[in-house]
Structure 1
Amino acid sequence: MPRRSGRTREDIREVALELIAERGFEQTSFRDIAERLDITKQAVQYHFSSKDALIDELIRPMIVDLEAFLGEATEAGAERPRLILELYLDLLHRHRQILQGLIRDHSALARHDVIHTLLHERSGLDELLVGTRPADRTRAIVALGGLQDCAVLLADVPLAEYRRSAVDSALRALTP
Structure 2
Amino acid sequence: MARSTPSTRERIQEVALEMFARQGVQRTSLQDIANRLGITKPALYYHFSSRDDLVRSIVNPLIQEGEELVARHEQRDPVVVSELLEDYFDFHYRHREKLMLVLTELRILGEIESIDAALDWRRRLVGLVFGPEPTLDQAARAIMAFGGIQDCCLQLPDAPHQRLRTAAVDAALTVLGAAA
TM-score by length of 2: 0.85
Task: Confirm or deny: 8 A CA contact 2:146 2:172 kept in the other structure.
Answer: yes
2:22 corresponding residue in structure 1: 22
Which AA in structure 1 matches 2:107?
Answer: S
> How far did 1:92 drift?
1.3
> How far did 1:38 drift?
2.1
Query: What is the percentage of aligned positions where both structures have the same residue?
Result: 38
> How far did 1:157 drift?
4.4
Residue 81 in 1 paired to residue 81 in 2? Answer: yes
CA distance in 2, matches of 1:152, 1:39: 32
Out of 142, 151, 166, the residue aligned to residue 149 of structure 1 is 151
1:100 corresponding residue in structure 2: 100
CA distance in 1, matches of 2:6, 2:93: 27
CA distance in 1, matches of 2:115, 2:153: 18
Question: How do 1:120-159 and structure 2 match up within 5 A?
Answer: 120-131=120-131, 132-159=134-161
Which AA in structure 2 matches 1:35?
Answer: N
Which AA in structure 2 matches 1:40?
Answer: T
> How far did 1:151 drift?
2.0
Counterpart secondary structure, 2:65: helix
**Farther off after superposition, 27-36 or 124-133:** 27-36
CA distance in 2, matches of 1:85, 1:57: 27
CA RMSD of aligned residues (A): 2.0
Which AA in structure 2 matches 1:33?
Answer: I
Mark the runs of 5 or more structure 1 residues left unpaired by the alignment. none
Which AA in structure 2 matches 1:32?
Answer: D
> How far did 1:77 drift?
4.7
Question: How do 1:27-66 and structure 2 match up within 5 A?
Answer: 27-66=27-66
2:165 corresponding residue in structure 1: 163
TM-score by length of 1: 0.87
> How far did 1:116 drift?
2.2
Counterpart secondary structure, 1:175: helix
Task: Confirm or deny: 8 A CA contact 2:17 2:98 kept in the other structure.
Answer: yes
2:111 corresponding residue in structure 1: 111
> How far did 1:108 drift?
1.4
Task: Confirm or deny: 8 A CA contact 1:17 1:98 kept in the other structure.
Answer: yes
The number of residue pairs the alignment matches comes to 172
Task: Confirm or deny: 8 A CA contact 2:56 2:114 kept in the other structure.
Answer: no
